């Protein structure tokens, strides 16, 4: 028999302990923010076609997290080997197409250099050829005014004329080659320009995973990761094109990304303590979901 009248029974103690635990858990659920709860992440799968070692990827992840932590002073992220949030490098058609365009741009650069060198040589030879033709014509005209050139001189002039004709044929063939190279370059430039301005979904935060699909340099990757870390903090896009949380990689400083006022304001709003009314509504929501 349980004793009553002012005494707490064993059952009541247990019920009280359970109630306090539930309240404490619910309070934690509704009051935690990115600024008082560090997000644990880990290196997930890394497709070898990115040619990025896992340890280097790990370093870049730390740099991306520091973009947020160094400015705000909060311990927003922590790396844990068993973390629930993996960060993956996923190779698909986006990176494949990017690498194809990068190769095309490299070919254009190389061929443009070769074309410019050949064009410069051609122009120098053409100028020399035209000067030689003028000199020959002037000499022939001079002998014609004298009644003709002596036989030995005539043979020399005729040999020079034939050599210049052969040189003209060579110059014409080289001109055709240059025109063909120019046409090929123009086609490649047109192809490259067709793709300029395409939007790539470089990264994605799914709620329990961060996937990175496309990047160019390590600095580029770091900025993409910082952007996706922002989404993991619960932030939406902001309007300033210099911001880490802008929806495009546009005017940000890729080599040294910094949070803008808009980025910091978004995080401040996300970290704001909820009002008592909001807490009450959240308690009801938590109670309904348990």
Residue 246 has pLDDT above 50, yes or no: yes
Residue 155 has pLDDT above 50, yes or no: yes
What is the distance between the alpha carbons of residues 257 and 234, in angstroms, rounded to a whole number?
19
As a whole number, mean pLDDT of residues 148-164 equals 92
What is the distance between the alpha carbons of residues 144 and 64, in angstroms, rounded to a whole number?
83
pLDDT value at position 206?
Answer: 94
Residues in the chain: 290
What is the distance between the alpha carbons of residues 269 and 34, in angstroms, rounded to a whole number?
11
Residue 193 has pLDDT above 70, yes or no: yes
pLDDT value at position 195?
Answer: 52
Per mean pLDDT, which range of 75-84, 161-170, 200-209 is the poorest? 200-209
pLDDT value at position 83?
Answer: 96
C-beta of residue 54 within 8 angstroms of C-beta of residue 46? yes
What is the distance between the alpha carbons of residues 205 and 231, in angstroms, rounded to a whole number?
6
pLDDT value at position 281?
Answer: 54
Residue 273 has pLDDT above 70, yes or no: no
More confident position, 149 or 280: 149
C-beta of residue 210 within 8 angstroms of C-beta of residue 203? yes
pLDDT value at position 117?
Answer: 93
More confident position, 270 or 17: 270
More confident position, 27 or 67: 67
pLDDT value at position 126?
Answer: 94
pLDDT digits (tens, 9 = 90+) for 60-90: 999 999 999 998 889 999 999 999 999 999 9
Task: State how beta strands 39-46 and 210-212 pair.
Answer: unpaired
Superfamily of domain 34-91+213-272: Collagenase (Catalytic Domain) (3.40.390.10)
C-beta of residue 238 within 8 angstroms of C-beta of residue 262? yes
- Residue 289 — very low, low, confident or very high, per pLDDT cuts 50/70/90? very low
Residue 284 has pLDDT above 70, yes or no: no
**What is the signed CA dihedral for 120, 125, 129, 135, rounded to 10 degrees?**
90
């Amino acid at each position: 028999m349980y004793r009553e009248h002012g005494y707490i029974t064993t059952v009541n103690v247990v019920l009280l302990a359970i109630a306090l635990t539930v309240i404490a858990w619910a309070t934690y659920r509704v009051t935690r923010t990115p600024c008082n709860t560090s997000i644990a992440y880990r290196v997930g799968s890394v497709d070898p076609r990115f040619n990025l070692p896992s340890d280097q990827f790990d370093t870049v992840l730390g740099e991306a997290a520091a973009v947020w932590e160094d400015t705000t002073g909060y311990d927003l992220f922590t790396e844990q080997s068993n973390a629930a949030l993996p960060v993956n490098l996923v190779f698909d058609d986006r990176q494949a197409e990017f690498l194809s365009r990068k190769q095309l741009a490299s070919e254009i650069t190389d061929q443009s250099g070769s074309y410019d060198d050949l064009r410069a040589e051609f122009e120098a030879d053409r100028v020399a050829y035209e000067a030689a033709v003028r000199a020959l014509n002037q000499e022939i005209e001079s002998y014609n005014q004298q009644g003709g050139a002596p036989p030995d001189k005539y043979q020399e002039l005729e040999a020079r004329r034939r050599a210049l004709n052969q040189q003209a044929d060579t110059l014409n063939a080289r001109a055709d080659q240059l025109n063909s190279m120019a046409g090929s370059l123009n086609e490649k430039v047109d192809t490259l320009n067709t793709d300029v301005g395409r939007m790539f979904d470089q990264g994605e935060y799914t709620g329990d995973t961060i996937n990175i699909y496309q990047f160019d340099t390590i600095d580029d990757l770091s900025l993409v990761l910082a952007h996706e870390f922002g989404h993991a903090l619960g932030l939406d896009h902001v309007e300033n094109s210099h911001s880490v949380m802008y929806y495009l990689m546009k005017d940000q400083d890729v080599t040294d990304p910094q949070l803008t006022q808009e980025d910091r304001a978004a995080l401040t709003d996300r970290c704001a303590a909820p009002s008592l009314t909001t807490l009450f509504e959240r308690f009801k929501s938590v109670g309904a979901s348990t």
